[in-house]
Structure 1
Amino acid sequence: MRRWHSNPSGQTRRIGGKNGSKRHLLVDGRGVPLLLIVTGANVNDCKRLDEVLSAIMVKRESPPSRRHMHLCADAGYRGADNARTIEKHDNIAHVVSRRKEADIKRRDPTKKARRWVVEVCHSWFNRLRKLLVRYEKLERSFVALNHLAAAIIAFRKVPLQVNIIYG
């Protein structure tokens, strides 16, 4: 049986509901964040998949037949609805559970793990103390800090070649 609480404002919520924020990330093969969406912690990741994939700013031209865009996701994105959403955005889905990926890696050590890059990116965000615990009351300031952190992470991870000519 579920128990319900009502707070002084009259709204009801379920006991055990999650408070806080969740980052939905889309990263490249190196773990550099390409896209960031912040939602409430009580929102399932699968519910925001279409929003994440449609929010990509720079659309890539349709790739040649030998190179497709691949989307690597964890087992939470299994299901027919998620597969249709991924195909609608012209991606090839690689939805692998943690155990299956470990077995593949054990059999062939030359293969790169695909799922860990998102976890590494989340840990880079959590290294910034201002983002580990949400102190901001306004959502827009928290989103702005996350975007600033994504820019800092991208600046650190993408190699830049700057040729400065002093005259």
Structure 2
Amino acid sequence: MDGRGVPLSLVVTGANANDVTQIEAVLDAIVVKRPAPKQRRFKHLCADAGYRGKGAMAVILAHGYIPHVVSRKSEAAQKKRDPKKKARRWVVEACHGWFNRFRKLLVRYEKLEHTFLALNHLAAAIIALRKIELPVNVIYG
């Protein structure tokens, strides 16, 4: 996800595959390549405490990201200290909620992987389209 919650890549796996094992596939599948940042700006990757392992950190650093791996408890403590600070993880939870609004994806009825992946890509495209500010009023159906 980017900072607004727009999905940048999708990877479909079995339900028994742990998220940490798929981080390299997710980072490799990013559709929109970001231009090289200026000297002072860097790419940041926010993740939950499950990505603290050496393998996940090595993959994150190898892809050129600065990892921000924080548990919910410590993030809540930081928010309590500085209420103006915005939580970094809300965008992921919000995007999951937007995907859940597509009822066909909420429960997987598709038997073929490529069909399910195509429906997820369609949902991601609709989510990205809704984030673009247009000069005309578009009715979403």
TM-score by length of 1: 0.77
Pairwise CA distance, 1:161? 4.1
Pairwise CA distance, 1:82? 1.0
**Identity between Structure 1 and Structure 2 (%):** 67
1:55 corresponding residue in structure 2 = 29
2:102 corresponding residue in structure 1 = 128
Return the match for 1:85 from 44, 59, 72. 59
Structure 1 residue 106 corresponds to structure 2 residue 80: yes
1:153 corresponding residue in structure 2 = 127
State the number of aligned residues.
136
Distance 1:137 1:65 in 2: 47
Structure 1 residue 140 corresponds to structure 2 residue 114: yes
* Conserved 8 A contact 2:10-2:29: no
What is the letter of the counterpart of residue 98 of structure 1? R
Distance 1:149 1:62 in 2: 28
Distance 2:55 2:131 in 1: 34
Distance 1:98 1:46 in 2: 17
Structure 1 residue 71 corresponds to structure 2 residue 50: no
Distance 2:28 2:116 in 1: 22
Could you say which structure has the higher helix fraction?
Answer: 2
- Listed as ranges, the gaps of 5+ residues in structure 2 are 137-141
| Bigger relative contact order, structure 1 or 2 (CA pairs below 8 A, ≥6 apart) | 2
Q: RMSD over aligned Cα, in angstroms?
A: 1.2
Deviations for 1:110-145, whole angstroms, at most 9, x for unmatched residues? 111111111110111011111111111111111111
Distance 1:155 1:42 in 2: 32
* Conserved 8 A contact 2:79-2:85: yes
Query: What are the residue-to-residue correspondences of 1:28-43 with 2, within 5 Å?
Result: 28-43=2-17
- Listed as ranges, the gaps of 5+ residues in structure 1 are 1-26, 163-167
Greater gyration radius: 1
